Amino acid sequence: MKDQPSRRSFLRHSAVAAAAALAAPAGLRAQGSPGRAAKARPRELATDLVIIGGSLGGCAAALAAARRGLRVIMTEETDWIGGQLTSQAVPPDENALIETVGGTRTYLELRQRIRDYYSRNFPLSEKARTNPRLNPGNGGVSRLCHEPRVALAALTEMLAPHVAGRRVEILLRHRPVDAAVQGDRVEAVRVRSLETGHELVLRAPLFVDATELGDLLPLTRTEYVSGGESRSETGEPHAKEKAEPANHQAFTCCFAMDYLAGDDHTIDRPRDYAFWRDHVPPLTPPWSGKLLSLFYSSPRTLKPFNMGFDPSKATGLFHYRRIIDRTNFAPGTYAGDVTLVNWPQNDYMLGNLFDVPAEEAARHLEGGKQLSLSWLYWLQTECPRPDGGTGWKGLRLRPDIVGTEDGLAKYPYVRESRRIRAEFTVTELHVGAEARAAATGAKSPAEAAAATFADSVGIGSYNIDLHPSSGGDNYIDFAARPFQIPLGSLLPRRVENLLAACKNIGTTHLTNGCYRLHPVEWNIGEAAGELAAFCLAGKHAPRAVRNGTGLLADFQSRLTTAGVPLSWPKS
């Protein structure tokens, strides 16, 4: 836990804040000209709500606040808003019922806008054109596998009237570098343009941290945790005996590729290929063997598993996260099917992206990029084929799809962030299927119900799914029951005017594994934006809304009217 400061200097970084700012991976951020800009007095902007981070949760928060009439400034490090859905290039992981239940009205609208974009702009096949549940990629991971640019277009459309009306201002390529804090309140956040080095001071009565790594937490000295808690702290059966704050889930540098039979699109041999070709992940229980192999540890059983890989037939791993099935489109629209590579083989497990020195974070980010390129090169040159040959030379890296020069997503897919010390923390005891069965006396884990939260601000459903970690853990994957999102998990214990809006809420290392997916993050962000508007309209403190019975009921009624379900329908 990070301690409360005795005082805070705005223009002079403390050692902790400076280290936190530096620890952000240099590879994610063009540095601009910060030295020259720092000499000039930063321009100040005042607004109703400042959202730091244009993640999926940040976008939902901005949309919710703006539709309630607030003026919002939202910053984003990359040049694409949308986080894991866009700049990280990951098609949505969702609950099995998402087509009808399990998402907010606006999240379902986002999904429909993605489908509509294809219908309006692409020559679809007759079958695809008449399919109300079009899945552009027909991938196995989701009912809506699509290109990241299309999600970006849909998000831009949703925010467009608010941007045009000056209710939302989006500062792309800006990151936070400092904060002014008075007592338990954040007064301002200083952000820097990664293009020019110019700085702005953003002032508001309320702030939202919607960054991928919880970057605002150390800058504002908001208490937080990271990595794994101890069993004695959380009481979770799957927690370890001792806390491991530096034990984070793997991150992944995703990329897109298609397959053109008969072509040779082999990339240059990556610099670190020899290392990754022979690398065996140092995990407990052991990994299945070398990382660059079609065999990997099955998440649930941890036994060696081979899903297969045949891009000529779009089967196995290629099908898993396929984002374009060319049979959905008129002949010639796409030369080949396109898949998004976010697979076990390019999970980077050797280090962390935050709370480490800047040089170390940059080294790990570069390592993640080298791993992904090495995996592609291995698939092109050494991967066993069903016909007895090796390598699929027709695999082609698609930098145009992710919007970068190197072909890797603009930002790594981050599964685990800093997490606030919250008013309420969700643990395995609240949502884990086996734990709930034991607590409730249910006949089986499948019949158990998750804990009921009186301060619910939304719902979600996913297994507790933790990828291999920097601390040497193999997959941790076990069932969770459909759950609620408690308002208390969005509220820091001490800081009064800062809200969490994505993976930085009050979960544990374990329950982060079921609260980190796309529809849940959107719901969290939407609830944060609605809460900001509710608090400013009635001059309430966020904590007072949760702790005041009448206020809580009014706020929950407001959420329900906005199309945010607070509980799962009874079957």
E-strand stretches of 429-546: 456-460, 464-466, 476-478, 483-486, 498-500
Residue 30, domain member (yes or no): no
Identify the CA nearest to 347 among candidates 322, 319, 367, 377.
367
CA atoms within a 13 Å half-sphere pointing along the CA-CB vector of 416: 34
pTM strictly above 0.85: yes
Give every CB contact of residue 504 below 8 A, 6+ residues apart in sequence: 209, 211, 214, 217, 224, 417, 418, 419, 420
> What's the rounded Cα separation, in Å, for the pair 435 and 207?
35
> What's the rounded Cα separation, in Å, for the pair 546 and 556?
10
∠ Cα 251 252 253 (to 5°): 135
> What's the rounded Cα separation, in Å, for the pair 102 and 99?
8
Residue 468, domain member (yes or no): no
Query: Do residues 254 and 341 lie in contact, with contact meaning Cβ atoms separated by under 8 Å?
Result: yes
**Would you call 468 helix, strand, or coil by DSSP?**
coil
Q: What is the pLDDT of residue 41?
A: 85
Q: Distances from the Cα of 473 to the Cαs of 33, 69, 466, in angstroms? A: 40, 46, 9
Residue 20, domain member (yes or no): no
**Would you call 76 helix, strand, or coil by DSSP?**
strand
Mean pLDDT by groups of 10 residues along the chain of 571 residues: 37 33 36 47 96 98 98 98 98 94 97 98 98 97 97 98 98 98 98 98 98 98 98 98 98 98 98 98 97 98 97 97 98 97 98 98 98 99 97 98 98 98 98 98 97 98 98 98 98 98 98 98 98 98 94 98 96 68
Q: What is the pLDDT of residue 293?
A: 98
Domain interval for residue 262: 251-402
Query: Do residues 457 and 566 lie in contact, with contact meaning Cβ atoms separated by under 8 Å?
Result: yes
Q: What is the pLDDT of residue 26?
A: 33
Residue 281, domain member (yes or no): yes
Q: Distances from the Cα of 469 to the Cαs of 108, 144, 255, 341, in angstroms? A: 32, 28, 21, 19
Identify the CA nearest to 220 among candidates 181, 192, 191, 187.
181
Q: What is the pLDDT of residue 29?
A: 36
Residue 146, domain member (yes or no): no
> What's the rounded Cα separation, in Å, for the pair 285 and 282?
9
Query: Do residues 288 and 304 lie in contact, with contact meaning Cβ atoms separated by under 8 Å?
Result: yes
Q: How many helices (H) and strands (E) does the chain have?
A: 18, 25
Identify the CA nearest to 111 among candidates 95, 87, 127.
95
Residue 375, domain member (yes or no): yes
> What's the rounded Cα separation, in Å, for the pair 496 and 549?
19
Total number of domains constituting the chain? 1
